[in-house]
């Protein structure tokens, strides 16, 4: 893992993002609700009441990127996850797809 700042989109940046997904999956084994935010995410007020409300209806919630397209682009810079079979299976599938991609194929963040 890099020991300092890495540029967006570089191999080191992509490696950090996949490590984040593995970490979130690991946390769901011990915690019933995990909220993750990159260091550059800030709130104007406490979001936990809202995220707890969302979690009563949905196992996963992600930030979306501010790009003009549908469906929206999910961002791993902010996520809220309940420790459910759905959440675990989703993360397992995403990690499996990443880990089993053909050698030499580009890793995506």
User: pLDDT digit string (tens) for 57-92?
Assistant: 999 998 887 788 888 777 888 999 999 999 999 999
Residue-level pLDDT at 108: 64
Q: Which residues contact 32 (CB under 8 A, 6 or more apart)?
A: 82, 83
Strand partners, 35: 80
Query: What pLDDT digit, counting tens, does each position of 5-44 carry?
Result: 889 889 898 888 899 999 999 999 999 999 999 888 888 9
Rounded distance between C-alpha atoms, residue 95 and residue 22, angstroms? 8
Residue given tokens 């409300």 in the structure block: 53
Task: Give mean pLDDT, residues 45-61.
Answer: 93
Does residue 104 form part of some domain?
no
Does residue 86 form part of some domain?
yes
Residue-level pLDDT at 95: 95
- How many H-runs (helices) and E-runs (strands) does the chain carry? 3, 3
Strand partners, 82: 33
Does residue 53 form part of some domain?
yes
Residue-level pLDDT at 107: 64
Count of structural domains within the chain: 1
104 or 64: whose pLDDT is higher?
64
Residue-level pLDDT at 94: 93
Structural domain for 56, as ranges? 11-98
Does residue 35 form part of some domain?
yes
Does residue 34 form part of some domain?
yes
Does residue 107 form part of some domain?
no
Does residue 38 form part of some domain?
yes
Does residue 106 form part of some domain?
no
Residue 106's pLDDT band, with cuts at 50, 70 and 90, is low
Give whole-number Cα distances, 49 to 23, 31, 60, 62, 82, in Å: 24, 17, 15, 16, 14
């Amino acid at each position: 893992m890099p020991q300092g700042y890495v540029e967006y989109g570089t191999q080191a940046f992509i490696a950090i993002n996949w490590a984040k997904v593995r970490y979130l999956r690991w946390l769901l084994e011990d915690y019933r609700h995990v909220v993750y935010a990159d260091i550059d995410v800030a709130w104007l007020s406490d979001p936990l009441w809202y995220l707890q409300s969302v979690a009563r209806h949905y196992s996963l919630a992600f930030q979306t990127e501010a790009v003009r397209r549908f469906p929206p682009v999910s961002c791993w810079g902010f996520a809220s996850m309940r420790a459910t079979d759905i959440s675990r299976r989703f993360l397992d599938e995403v990690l499996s797809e990443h880990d089993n991609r053909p050698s030499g194929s580009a890793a995506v963040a």
